[in-house]
Structures are given as structure tokens and as C-alpha cells.
Amino acid sequence: MFAYTITDFISFVKSNFLLIISLTVVTYVIQYYVNYFNRSSRIPGPFPLPFIGNLHQIGGDLSSAANLFQKRYGDLYEFYMGNKRIIVISRPDLVEKVWGPLSLKSTRFIMRNPFSEGLDELGLGTKGMVFNRDIESWNMNRKLLVPSISSPPFLRESIKLCSEIIDEVFECWKIMGEGAQVEFSDWIDALTADVVIRTATGKKVSSITKLFDSLNIKEKLEMQGVWQDGTDFIQAIHTYNESMGFMMLLPTFFRRNFPGIGKLNKKFLDNRDWIIKELDKMVAERRREIESIPLDQPLEQTILTLLLVTNTERDSKKNSSSKLDRPLTNEEIIPIIREVFTGGLDTTANTLSFIGFYIAKHRDVYLKMRKEVLDVYGTLDNPNITFESYGKLKYIEAVINESIRIFPTVSIIARTSVEEEEFDGFTIQPDTAIYTDFKALGNDPKYFKEPEIFNPDRFFNDKESIGKYSHLPFGNGVRMCPGRLWAIVQMKTFLVKLLCKFDIEPVCENDIPKYVYATVNRPVDIKLLLKTRKD
């Protein structure tokens, strides 16, 4: 009798398959909108569709979509990625509530993102720092990494290595000849890749050499001791960064089963596996090298080396800031060093490219930057660049801040509350993503006079007029960017050396730079003319 019942049921399902599917979908849609309209804390925002939410309106550019939503719905609105509710804020008092300088123990917005199966699949949900929801693990990783990449010895070594690699770029530009037209963002991508990989691991990569050789100039460059898989690794990191938004925001079922999307999902996961495999080889190789070096011989100050010697007999500090009292395993180091690459490659390179776009368009700003370099160093001919001198470069720092304000590389950053919160009378449930739209905030005339104008003086002569929490270039509070000092050192080193060597002019007179959205805003087609510096 039981067997007959099962057979009969299967037969019924087969004969009424379309009807069952239709009823299931209709039931889901009805329940979806009942829940939506019954929500007492429903915030203004675009009307979502079942299954996809507002994906059809967002497309592939969340940054641009957020700009349109903010203009239509204001400084507090909501939208949906699939069934995930996302709140967006772009008002200083709301930003302070989320990003205020609260301690680790008291902040309610300690989480970066709500639970995401996609982030867990990428290995980010419980490892590393950026998206790590395991607070104990996150805090340990932060205490291991931040002191290392913020210490004066490391930053001095970074300036030295950065200067050497910048000189390689300038040598290429010299060979290209007076008045050469360069794809500036391509060169900055190559420069930053070589700097970050070299500073993080000690390995040499050939991004600059390969870019130069691709121009089919008769003269060829040669580089000795190059990491052969380096350029493949850099491309894999770029792909990994692109995959974050895809894996985090798209519903799991949609990612895995929708035609065409499933193939992209597999590509991103295969790329994840390849990166882990390469990093494992890199860490193991460097560990063997360190073990073969005598204890009285100094080691190169790379990030990987600093992590590998933590809590060993080579560690003079014995990492007193962490509860960890043993050396790190490969499995613990890999997520940290991976985030050095994912956080250090795109963000610094893109910011420098945007800066290049704006200072090329504003000759007066460029000359004021050059004057500051002359005032600080006393010469423009191979000045003695030191870490200590960087605190005096106030106008150049203002230029960096203004570029980030007007066109930030990371325009939208998420935080998540661990408790129920209230914004303007609307109740927000725990584990809801709160996105801060820094691009909308920085371009709002309520907080910045004539925001469309590139004006570094607002951060130099008029910096007192910058409202609290209206400009957070590296975030704020306990989740502030751990590599901010390293990034600033790289940018100041490049800008000082550029100002001393070249005059630059824009090829196109676009009002805003072109970009593509790939989790971050990546500038493209930024063409500049290079000329020898004229005093």
C-alpha cells in the first residue's frame, strides 16, 4: 500500500508539474509582498521584485545605482539584493552612529557584513580581517598585522623599495620620449602591483617590464630574479576582488543555478583555490629560507617575514599585544597575507590614478604641490625622501583627501549591527547590512561647498570647515583600514618623485574620470601627456 501511494504521488507530480510550480511561485510572491508591506519599519526605496529584489535596477554598477537612488530617496533608503535587505546612509549624524570612535567592547557595529554564504565560500567570513565575523580571530589578526605595517622601520623600508620601483617606471617613460602619451591607470596598476608584492613578500614581479614590452618599443627591458607566476597571481587577485561583490550580494541559488551565472560562480571559486595554493607555496618557501639564515643576520622587513617570525626566537617583541604565544601556522598566515594583496593592490592604485586625473587637469594644484616639495626638501633634483619628512607634506595630503572625497575608490562600505537599531524612527533588525555611501556624502552641497569642483584647499586652508563624519577616507573606529599608513606612504612617495621629474597634461578634457565598477571603482582610459619638468 505504501509503495502504491508513493508511485501514485510521483505520477501526480509529473502530470501536474507546471501547475505545482506555478502555485509555488504564486504562494512565494504573495508571502513575499505580505511580509514586505507589513513591515512597520519599511524605509523609502525602490520597489523590489521577488527573487531578485532590485538587481534589475542595479545591474553591474552598484556605485552608479546608489547615486541614482540617493537623489531619488534621500540620505536614508533601502534596497534589496535578492531577498537581502540593505540600508544606505549618507548623512553625517547617521554615519557617526555607525562609524563613531567606539571601543571594541562597546561598539554595536563591530561586524562588517551580515552572514553571507558567498563570503564564506571565498574564505572571508571567518578568516582574515575585512569580512571576518569571528571577533576573536579578527582581533588577533588585526593585532598581528597593524603594528607590523605601521611601524617606522617597515614604512622606511617601504619608501626605499617604492622609490626603486618608481624609478623603473620613470626609466620606461624616459625611453618613450618627450611628450609621450601614457595610459596612466595601466602604469599605476603595474607600479602598485610590483610595490605591494615586493614589500609584502620580497619577491620581484615584472608587471612594469611586461607593460613596457607590450608597447612594442625597440628597446627591451630585462629583470633578473623575477617570480615567474607573479603577473598571473596579480590578475588572480584582481579577479578575486571582483568576485567579492558577486559572491556577497547575489543569492546563493541564483549564483549556482542561473544560466551563465553558475559558470561565473565556478570560475571565481576555482580562482580562490589557485590563490590559496600559490600562497601556501610562497609561505612554505619563505619559512624554509628564514630557517636557513643565521640568527645574527638581519632579515628583510617584508610583511610575510614579519608574520613568519612572530613569537619565534627572532621576534624581539614576542607580540605582546596579542594573546597568541606561539608561531603562526601557514593556515593562519595565508588569509592575512591574501588580504594585504586584496586590500593593497586595487585601492592604492585606483586612488593614485584618480589623483593623476585631477592634478593633470588642474595645473595650479600641480604647481602648488611642487612648491611644497621644494619648500620641504630644498631641491627638486633627487631630494632625500624620508619617512619623517612626510608629515610636512600637508598640501599633498590635502590633494589625496580631495581626490578621495570627489571620487572615492571604495564609494560604499558596509557595517552591520549586532543589536536592534533605530534610524530616524525606523527600526533596523540585527544582522542587517548598513551601507555608508561615501561618494554621495562627499559630493553633497550640504556638507561641501561646490562639491563638483576639485579644490584641495578645503582640506588645507579651510579644513576647519569640514564637518565631523562627512569625510572618512579610511573609515573610522575599530574597523578603520589597517593599511592606511602604508597606502599614504606609497602615494606620497610616488607624487613627490613625479613632481620632481615630470610635467603632466590630460589628453582628454573629461569632467569626471571614466571607471568600471568591480567591487571598487576602477579608473580606465586615463591618458596623460608626459613632459620633462620645467622649473
- Residues annotated in the binding site for heme, as ranges? 481
Give the C-alpha separation, 179 to 367, whole Å: 19
How large is the angle between the packed helices 230-249 and 261-291, nearest 10 degrees?
Answer: 130
Among all chains, which residue has been given the C-alpha cell 602591483? 193
Edge-to-edge strand list for the sheet holding 502-506: 181-183, 527-532, 502-506
Q: By three-state DSSP, how is residue 270 classified?
A: helix
Give the C-alpha separation, 144 to 335, whole Å: 12
CB 376 within 8 Å of CB 496? no
Give the C-alpha separation, 145 to 338, whole Å: 12
Closest CA to 466 of 477, 483, 487, 451: 451
Q: Which amino acid is at 488?
A: I
Cell readout for 102 is 567606539
Cell readout for 16 is 501536474
DSSP code per residue over 120-151: HHTT-SSSSSSS---HHHHHHHHHHHHHHHHS
Give the C-alpha separation, 69 to 90, whole Å: 11
Give the C-alpha separation, 233 to 131, whole Å: 22
Give the C-alpha separation, 427 to 429, whole Å: 7
SS in 3 state form for 451-475?
CCCCCHHHHCCCHHHCCCCCCCECE
Give the C-alpha separation, 492 to 497, whole Å: 8
Q: By three-state DSSP, how is residue 433 classified?
A: strand
**How are beta strands 84-89 and 433-437 bridged, if at all?**
parallel
Cα separations in angstroms, 115 against 125, 374, 432, 475: 7, 51, 9, 21
Among all chains, which residue has been given the C-alpha cell 571576518? 132
CB 284 within 8 Å of CB 278? no
CB 454 within 8 Å of CB 358? yes
Give the C-alpha separation, 322 to 141, whole Å: 9
Q: Which residues contact 455 (CB under 8 A, 6 or more apart)?
A: 402
Q: By three-state DSSP, how is residue 50 classified?
A: coil
Q: Which residues are annotated as a binding site?
A: 481
Q: Which residues contact 210 (CB under 8 A, 6 or more apart)?
A: 190, 231
Q: Which residues contact 285 (CB under 8 A, 6 or more apart)?
A: none
